Amino acid sequence: MPKDLTNLPIAITGASSGIGAATAMACAKAGMPVAIAARRADKLADVATKIKQAGGRVITVNCDVTKPEECAALIDATVREFGSIYSVFANAGYGVEQSFLSQTDEEIRAMFETNFWGSVNVIRPALAHMTKAGNGHVLWCSSCLAKIGLPMYSSYCASKAMQDHFARATRHELRSAGIFVSSVHPIGTKTEFFEKVEGRGAKLLSKSPERFMQPASRVADAVVACLRKPKGEVWTSLPMRMGLGFAGMFPRLADFALARMMDQRMKRAT
């Protein structure tokens, strides 16, 4: 029997645009009070207005996920406003297309600070409430790229793999506490993500053909479906999931295909 999500509060980071904003709307429509967080207050306010217009309950919290105290304040605000917290979606993140040799240690660390530590920073204070309540659902927004290393995206893929592995291990650790842990693995999704990556000089990933791109609402709907009926990994593309499973079984063949794909993209990009 699918879980009734009515009145089960959720906190969502990176909710000022893209997947986070779409998921906040989908959760609100499912009856969940939502606490939406990001750094851009104006964008958050726009998302909140749309949620209210759709009849949802929402609060906005300004939060930089690299700052643990701001993440703790987000969880405190959620509990203060809605009385409890049932779920947290650690979704804030960004990508960079850059070779390892041209990246500084500071740039690599900065990516891990947001994509990985930014998740830990918000999940840890949420878990303090969930373990007391004896139930809850933690969601990590990882990526399909958690399962394969894409050239020029080594730190991004590594940060997404860290989230994936953390989610998988803690899923088993927290099961006896009544808490479910899921990782979400979007494929290319039409959000600001690609504009921002392009803005930082990307040439390869931004050239993904349109037919491989999905709307953010598809990820949002899949997240809500997972909240209703928990599962370990959330995928929105069966061919991608199967392809990456195959790539794991046959790494040499996967390297061959990846090398060809990257050569073609390099040619298109130049």
Ligand X SMILES: NC(=O)c1ccc[n+]([C@@H]2O[C@H](COP(=O)([O-])OP(=O)(O)OC[C@H]3O[C@@H](n4cnc5c(N)ncnc54)[C@H](OP(=O)(O)O)[C@@H]3O)[C@@H](O)[C@H]2O)c1
User: Tokens standing for 136?
Assistant: 């809850």
> Which residues make Cβ contacts (< 8 Å) with residue 205, sequence separation at least 6?
95, 97, 150, 152, 153, 188, 194, 197
Q: Does 156 participate in catalysis according to the annotation?
A: yes
Q: What is the closest distance, in whole angstroms, from the C-beta atom of residue 213 to ligand X in the complex?
A: 7
Task: Using DSSP, state whether 101 is helix, strand or coil.
Answer: helix
Task: Using DSSP, state whether 267 is helix, strand or coil.
Answer: helix
Cβ-in-10-Å burial (0-12, 13-18, 19+) of 229 comes to exposed
CB 34 within 8 A of CB 61: no
Near ligand X by CB under 6 A, which window of 18-26, 49-57, 80-88, 225-233?
18-26
User: Tokens standing for 104?
Assistant: 């500084």
In eight-state DSSP terms, residue 117 is I
Site string for ligand X, 184-223 (x = CB under 6 A): --x-xx-xxx--x---------------------------
Near ligand X by CB under 6 A, which window of 15-23, 49-57, 77-85, 164-172?
15-23
Query: Of these, 60, 91, 98, 155, which contacts ligand X (CB under 6 A)?
Result: 91
Q: What is the closest distance, in whole angstroms, from the C-beta atom of residue 41 to ligand X in the complex?
A: 8
Question: Which is nearest to 232 in space by CA: 158, 146, 132?
Answer: 146
Query: Of these, 66, 103, 154, 237, which contacts ligand X (CB under 6 A)?
Result: 66
Does 182 sit near ligand X (CB under 6 A)? Answer: no
Near ligand X by CB under 6 A, which window of 34-42, 170-178, 236-244, 256-264?
34-42
CA distance 13 to 2: 25
* Chain contacts with ligand X (rule: CB under 6 A): 13-20, 38-40, 43, 63-66, 91-95, 114, 118, 141, 143, 186, 188-189, 191-193, 196
Residues carrying an active site annotation: 156
